[in-house]
Structure 1
Amino acid sequence: MKNEGPEAEIVISSRVRIARNLSHHPFPLLATNQQAKDVMEQLTNVSQSGRLAALGSFETITLSDLTELEKRVLVEKHLISPNLANESRCGAVILSDDESVSIMINEEDHLRIQCLYPGFQIQEAWTLASGIDDIFEEAADYAFDEKRGYLTTCPTNVGTGIRASVMMHLPALVLTNQINRILSAVTQVGLAVRGLYGEGSEALGNLFQVSNQITLGQSEDEIIDNLYGVARQIIEHEKAARSRLLQESKLRIEDRVKRSYGILCHAMIMDSKESAQRLSDVRLGTDLGILQDVTPQMLNELLVMTQPGFLQQAFNEKMSPEQRDYRRAELIRKQLRGETDHGGARI
């Protein structure tokens, strides 16, 4: 979230996740505690191999050693799934030091390799994820069928086992009432559109996650290329919509952006939905050159910092919803004013 990649004014991040299971082992939903423990030991041993270490420094975290709050923060940072946080029996996550690589063990599947890049770098994320997958496949016997491909717990992942996605900020398409038409066209070419936290989540703050739906019948490269091509078209539509807003409604956009900025700088209470929308307005203003003092990186960080789990960790206190709204407003005010003392927590 602190780094900036290509097309960063529109694409927040690119992610590739690969689902794999081990042959001759029950899938996690049917495994006993001992069987799940055996899988965890086998996969963590692979993670300590020299080949993976060559990619950087990695830390193995056992989920049972974490508090519920610590697990929630990992979910909010997109480093583990809600499913792994809720079902952490013999579960673990292997994180790279920069948190661009997250390898989940005993989630819905035995192994889920995730690579997360800033900006529009879906092909780079796939290259890294594929390389890590090769390391594990050399040391572990994957559940694989010649006809169906890689076998997974959920039938929708069978085949390549790949979920690739780009997180996009599309406020201009929303403001110009084009978003429904664009997203309808996206779903017709085999892609899905979800909110910030994936399936079942709301698209708060004009953030949309575009990902592949099809994992069977296409090659890995075809899946990545299709997503890349569609995402590129969405980027161009968003850019055109932003130009149109500046040409036809510049004063209204400036007013909207500066009102949201003023509220964020002075509000005493802020719920998560309002903060997401206000931050979206400010981000648009930054990208259009209306605001000069706010960086995209700061706004990216606030996406995480304003989530319930992070707030409680940052201020080291358990909070009611009302207390979180107060602390959220306080944190945003301090961040926008350059006062970085928010409990010593880090992104």
Structure 2
Amino acid sequence: LRVISMEKGGNMKDVFTRFCTGLKELEAVIKEKGEAFMWNEHLGYILTCPSNLGTGLRAGVHVKLPNMSKHPKFEEVLKKLRLQKRGTGGVDTAAVDGIFDISNADRLGFSEVQLVQIVVDGVKLLVDMEKKLEKGASINNLMPGKLKTLSCIEPALIDVSCSLYVRTRTGLSASFTYFFFKFIIFNKCYWSPDNAQNMNE
């Protein structure tokens, strides 16, 4: 089972709100049938793939980074921001025309709100870097100093008021938004007495 909320544009708040609403309604229907998603106090949600244990949430943004993606410290920046990249075609696909799917690298150890905040903050910084590189300027003053930790993230606030955009390749002053937000809960498992017993063991 995968629950997906996505749209073109820069309104991450609406996408996340719709995602939460849909997931809540789905969970209510499942509970009416006497079932529930598998959940463990230590591990969080139990999913079919161990890499998705915890929240099971991937918040992805399709963003154009033709200059930043060629920078020698691109991978280092992503790691420090706790982000990962892939092509827009999915896992193990290459980026086309500098367009990447940037998403949270973590599933476990953070709340859903914190993971979304990581993506919002990280993509904003990547776009700021892209704009500087486009002008031929240095991005040294924007480089993140260390790996983001839990204490660095405000869990109660999602700042989606920032204007996220990259300029067109033609260099015109007009800019466009190329964001494609996607929230996914991966393959959640249903609870059953047998599964619960195996999990406790």
Taking structure 2 as the reference length, the TM-score comes to 0.63
Per-residue deviation, 1:184: 2.1
Q: Deviations over 1:141-196 (max 9, x none)?
A: 2222222111110011111110011111112335xx42x31332112332211112
Counterpart mapping for 1:1-347 below 5 A? 111-140=1-30, 141-174=36-69, 177-178=70-71, 180-244=72-136, 284-285=169-170, 288-289=171-172
CA contact (8 A) 1:122 1:166 kept: no
Aligned residues: 144
CA distance in 2, matches of 1:206, 1:215: 26
Question: CA separation of 1:241/1:189 partners in 2, compared to 1, >3 Å: closer, same or farther?
Answer: closer
Corresponding position of 1:252: none
Q: Which has the higher contact order (CA 8 A, sep 6+)?
A: 2
Per-residue deviation, 1:296: 6.3
Q: Deviations over 1:303-323 (max 9, x none)?
A: xxxxxxxxxxxxxxxxxxxxx
CA contact (8 A) 2:68 2:126 kept: no
Runs of 4+ in 1 over 6 A off after TM superposition: none
Q: Which amino acid in structure 2 is aligned with residue 244 of structure 1?
A: G
Identity %: 24
Per-residue deviation, 1:122: 2.8
State the secondary structure of the residue aligned to 1:284.
coil
CA distance in 1, matches of 2:66, 2:83: 20
The runs of 5 or more residues in structure 1 that have no matched partner are 1-110, 246-282, 301-347
Larger helix percent: 1
State the secondary structure of the residue aligned to 2:2.
strand
Q: Which amino acid in structure 2 is aligned with residue 119 of structure 1?
A: G
Q: Which amino acid in structure 2 is aligned with residue 200 of structure 1?
A: D
CA distance in 1, matches of 2:75, 2:13: 22
Instruction: Mark the structure with the bigger radius of gyration.
Output: 1
Q: Deviations over 1:29-54 (max 9, x none)?
A: xxxxxxxxxxxxxxxxxxxxxxxxxx
